[in-house]
Amino acid sequence: MRGTKRIAMWLRAFASRRNMESELDEEMRFHIDMEAAKHSRRGLSDDEARRRASLAFGSVEQHKEAMREGRGVRGIERAAFDLRFGFRQLRKTPGFTTAAVLTLALGIGGNVAVFSVINGVLLRPLAFPEPDRLVTIAHRTRGGDLPVTLPNATATDVVYQASHSFDAMALYTGWQVSLTGGDASPDWVDVTAVTRSIFDVLKVRPALGRPFTADEDRPRGPRAVILSHALWRQRFGGDPAIIGRTITVDGTTHEIVGVMPAGFVFPTPAVSVWVPMRVDRNDLGGFNTPGIARLRPGVTPEQATRELTQLLPGVTKLTDFITEKTIRDARLTADVHPYLDDVVGRVRPVLWTLWAMVGLVLLIACVNVASLLLVRAEARRREVALRVALGAERGHLLAQSLAESAMLLVMGTGLGVLLAWGAVSALPRLAPDLLPRLTDIRIDAIVLVCTTFVAAIVAFARDENPSRFVT
């Protein structure tokens, strides 16, 4: 707190330095006048009294300099002078300046761009409440394929209901459909069929309308559909009276019962329509329907996996075509893992490897710029030696060197951030299907903090001191 007050005092003093100079002159005159008045009372003439007062007081400029130092103004003025001097030195050598700035910009810009992708894809939480509790329910067989099929979604809908690891569980599956309705022409869109519990799992409700009802999620129940916010705006112009109207999905009329909030994505950004799954437990299907669940507080995916694996033999009570021996022979086990792992897919190791590569590029950039600075310092050996001989302090020379390096770093970092921003902005157009969570990739405060950290590392990695060339 004391340091903050001192810095504020320095800044105020620097901002009002003209008034301060007038005050210093007035204070110096006051002290000299008081000393001269003492000599005048002893019978000396006014000129002699002022002469002796000036001799006794000493150098006015030295006193003023000491007072400037005490108020912190001198240090700020010197820093401003060092920055102006550094800028003039860089302007005298445009080739060196351009090469150094571009080298730093490429190294820092690459790191900023790749970290923006890593932050958006891997580190940023999913846009759901308490996303760390969202998990995928899958299954693995290590001994071979199951010789029979199981009722579609039986395990999640029936057997796993006895689990104590989850607050809610749901199923989903997707495909493409032909969509007709609204003012736009028929089009192919991505649709996802979900069980009605999906809204409890994700803890998201439609912005307009309502979720699916239990009747709509049963076989031969009413046909209902929920639209994405983007599709609602595109085909229906954002009409708030859309609820209750109908739309044709693959030739079948569905009632529009809801519109999801803007920015809602599940399971992929391409999905713009959701319909009830209408699970039929008597319909024999595969054991591969994706399941998603919300863990209870304090439960880990590993604990949930062990519990579901113990519950799997309960499937044998629902069908005569599978036995516990079949499960043991196939070595069927549950697999509960973070839902984020499914969202990012296999890009996680690729992105970390890419960041390591651009980190190596940054290291090479630091070495190159350090080499340029060493050559520049060698060329200025005679200049620095002459300034030292004329009385320049080594500390001041170091400060000027640091100011010059800081200006190079600031220009390189600024240009690097601009390059990274251009690259990140172009990603959705250049690679729309290459990366998941493209809408979450952006340069934000976290990325800028990382940029500052990288810039600080660069400053330490390639700093140089021309005064060391003075013998």
Taking only the tens place, the pLDDT of each residue in 121-136 is 888 888 899 999 999 9
Peptide bond just before 428 cis, omega within 30 deg: no
pLDDT score recorded for residue 229: 94
Q: Is the pLDDT of residue 464 over 60?
A: no
Q: Are 116 and 442 in contact (CB under 8 A)?
A: yes
pLDDT score recorded for residue 444: 81
Provide the b/e sequence for 351-363 (b: ≥16 CB within 10 Å).
beebbeebbeebe
Report residue 457's pLDDT band, with 50, 70 and 90 as the boundaries. confident
| CA within 13 Å, CB half, 446 | 11
Q: Is the pLDDT of residue 247 over 60?
A: yes
Q: Are 460 and 114 in contact (CB under 8 A)?
A: no
If one compares 282 and 133, the residue with the highest pLDDT of the two is 133
Taken as a whole, the chain contains a residue count of: 471
Q: Is the pLDDT of residue 98 over 80?
A: yes
Q: Are 257 and 224 in contact (CB under 8 A)?
A: yes
pLDDT score recorded for residue 67: 59
If one compares 441 and 287, the residue with the highest pLDDT of the two is 441
Cα torsion for 120, 125, 127, 130, to the nearest 10°?
180
Q: Identify the bridge partners of residue 256 per DSSP, sorted by sequence position.
A: 225
If one compares 447 and 422, the residue with the highest pLDDT of the two is 422
Neighbours of 35 (CB within 10 A): 18
Q: Is the pLDDT of residue 306 over 80?
A: yes
| Whole-angstrom distance, CA of residue 453 vs CA of residue 17 | 34
Provide the b/e sequence for 332-346 (b: ≥16 CB within 10 Å).
bbbebebbbebbbee
* 179-187 mean pLDDT: 75
Question: What DSSP string describes 389-409?
Answer: HTT--HHHHHHHHHHHHHHHH
Distances (CA, A) of 459 to 104, 454, 463: 11, 9, 6
Report residue 359's pLDDT band, with 50, 70 and 90 as the boundaries. confident
* 157-181 mean pLDDT: 85
Report residue 151's pLDDT band, with 50, 70 and 90 as the boundaries. very low
Taking only the tens place, the pLDDT of each residue in 21-64 is 666 667 777 777 777 777 777 777 777 777 777 777 666 666 55
- Chain center to CA of 256: 37
> To the nearest whole number, what is the mean pLDDT of the chain?
79
Peptide bond just before 129 cis, omega within 30 deg: no
Spatial neighbors of 103 by CB under 8 A, at least 6 apart, are: 365, 368, 369, 372, 412
Whole-number CA gyration radius for the chain = 36
Q: What is the largest CA-CA distance in the chain?
A: 129
Determine whether 30 is exposed, middle or buried from the number of CB atoms within 10 Å of its CB (0-12, 13-18, 19+): exposed
If one compares 317 and 255, the residue with the highest pLDDT of the two is 255
Neighbours of 144 (CB within 10 A): 10
- Matching residue, tokens 């010197």: 78
Tokens representing 63 are: 């006193």
Taking only the tens place, the pLDDT of each residue in 81-92 is 777 877 887 888
Per-range mean pLDDT, top range of 157-166, 196-205, 283-292, 303-312: 196-205
| Whole-angstrom distance, CA of residue 35 vs CA of residue 29 | 10
Q: Percent of the chain beyond pLDDT 70?
A: 76
| Whole-angstrom distance, CA of residue 7 vs CA of residue 352 | 41
Question: What DSSP string describes 27-75?
Answer: HHHHHHHHHHHHHHHTT--HHHHHHHHHHHH--HHHHHHHHHHHHTHHH
Strand 252-259 versus strand 224-227 pairing type:
parallel
List the end-to-end C-alpha distance of the chain, in Å, as a whole number.
42
pLDDT score recorded for residue 383: 75
Q: Percent of the chain beyond pLDDT 90?
A: 22
Tokens representing 138 are: 């899958």
Neighbours of 367 (CB within 10 A): 13
Taking only the tens place, the pLDDT of each residue in 269-279 is 889 999 998 87
pLDDT score recorded for residue 212: 94
Q: Is the pLDDT of residue 319 over 60?
A: yes
Q: Are 120 and 269 in contact (CB under 8 A)?
A: no
The pTM (predicted TM-score) of the whole model is 0.69
Report residue 285's pLDDT band, with 50, 70 and 90 as the boundaries. very low
If one compares 470 and 267, the residue with the highest pLDDT of the two is 267
* 192-207 mean pLDDT: 93
Classify 422 as helix, strand or coil. Answer: helix
Q: Is the pLDDT of residue 287 over 60?
A: no
